[in-house]
Structure 1
Amino acid sequence: MKFKSAGLGERGGLRIRRMKVEDLDQVMEIERASFPTPWSRGSFEVEITRNPNAFYIVAELEGKVIGFAGMWVTAGEGHITNIAVHPKFRRCGLGELLVVSLIERCIAERAKGVILEVREHNLAAQELYRKCGFVQVGKRKHYYLDTGEDALVLYLSGLDRPEVRERFARRWEELWGHVPDRVRNRDLL
């Protein structure tokens, strides 16, 4: 591991770092490939340049953005706004690394929990979040305006407990132990 600072890291050609305006062309490619109603470039730009509560990261392989995630941390709670991985690099642990990186940042910011909304039919994302310890705490009817689909509200609590913080620190290290190799192997395909 080259460095670790509140959810950021680098190893084996894979780097998790803060999102920059210069990344937005690549971020928008992934966003459009991932969501039926993508965020606008302007929305991302506002988040990373003007929102003091926002924390947006990219996963970069050999200089190319292959995934991203974002959240707000406010009033002692994180709120994950979005996460997406380039289709070529899905199902190799990168999504989990991005989520755990956000959780590590929440811990550093002394947040006690993290909340998010996920489409009711996005089973892959739900599986990822549950693997990270999120549980369903509610449902927002007709939340997604593009389809009228409901959103499940998922929550991860206990980030203020030492055993939970230690579990995520260990998982973060474990993921860095194998995800870079898996991602590089996908890049060769």
Structure 2
Amino acid sequence: MSWSVEGVRIVSMQECHLDALAALERLCFSIPWSREGLAAELSEPTACFEVAEYMGQTIGYAGMHVIVDEAYVTNVAVDPNYRRHGAGRLLLQSLERLATQRGAVTLSLEVRVTNQEAIRLYHACGFQEIGIRKGLYEQPKEDGLIMTKVLI
């Protein structure tokens, strides 16, 4: 598949995205969020969820919660057919901008220790490894690498 990140639009998650995002969750994760779980984020005041669209198709999304001066990334997912072309980076940049606007000074996340593709993306976006959460993930059981980025 040939495509360009220049055609990607980043928009705020809305009700119309929920079916596509639930399908993307099932495609990307062993324990996916449900449509209902995603819908609940629409009314959560601490939540910021952004969606990547390409030629009218939802190709990815990322979400976080901002509480006081800390932002925590809960989800980052990009359709495997659209990875490695910059959509994930655009989503993370959008979250960073929104976190800063909401007064956050740090942006943190966890990632499976074996997910080298995601770890490379997070490093490229300025995240640093700060620790391990033993047994964080299920199906399969795996440790989570804690990564953070200082925003100020």
TM-score (normalised: structure 1) = 0.74
Match of 1:68 in 2: 61
CA distance in 2, matches of 1:133, 1:57: 19
Match of 2:33 in 1: 39
| Number of residue-to-residue matches in the alignment | 148
Describe the superposition over 1:128-174 as per-residue Cα deviations: whole angstroms up to 9, x where unpaired.
001111111111110013322000110101x12xxxxxxxxxxxxxx
2:101 is the alignment partner of 1:108: yes
Residue 63 of structure 1: how far off its partner (Å): 2.0
Higher strand fraction (1 or 2): 2
Residue 13 of structure 1: how far off its partner (Å): 4.5
2:23 is the alignment partner of 1:29: yes
Match of 2:87 in 1: 94
- Of 141, 147, 150, which residue of structure 1 is paired with 2:140? 147
The structure 1 segments of at least 4 consecutive aligned residues displaced by more than 6 Å after TM superposition are none
Give the residue type in structure 2 aligned to 1:42. Answer: E
Match of 2:10 in 1: 16
Ranges in structure 1 where 5+ consecutive residues have no aligned partner: 1-10, 161-189
Question: Cα RMSD between the aligned structures?
Answer: 1.4
Match of 1:80 in 2: 73
Residue 46 of structure 1: how far off its partner (Å): 0.7
Please show how residues 107-146 of structure 1 align to structure 2 within 5 Å. 107-146=100-139
Change (3 A) 1:137 1:17: same
Ranges in structure 2 where 5+ consecutive residues have no aligned partner: none
Give the residue type in structure 1 aligned to 2:103. Answer: R
Higher helix fraction (1 or 2): 1
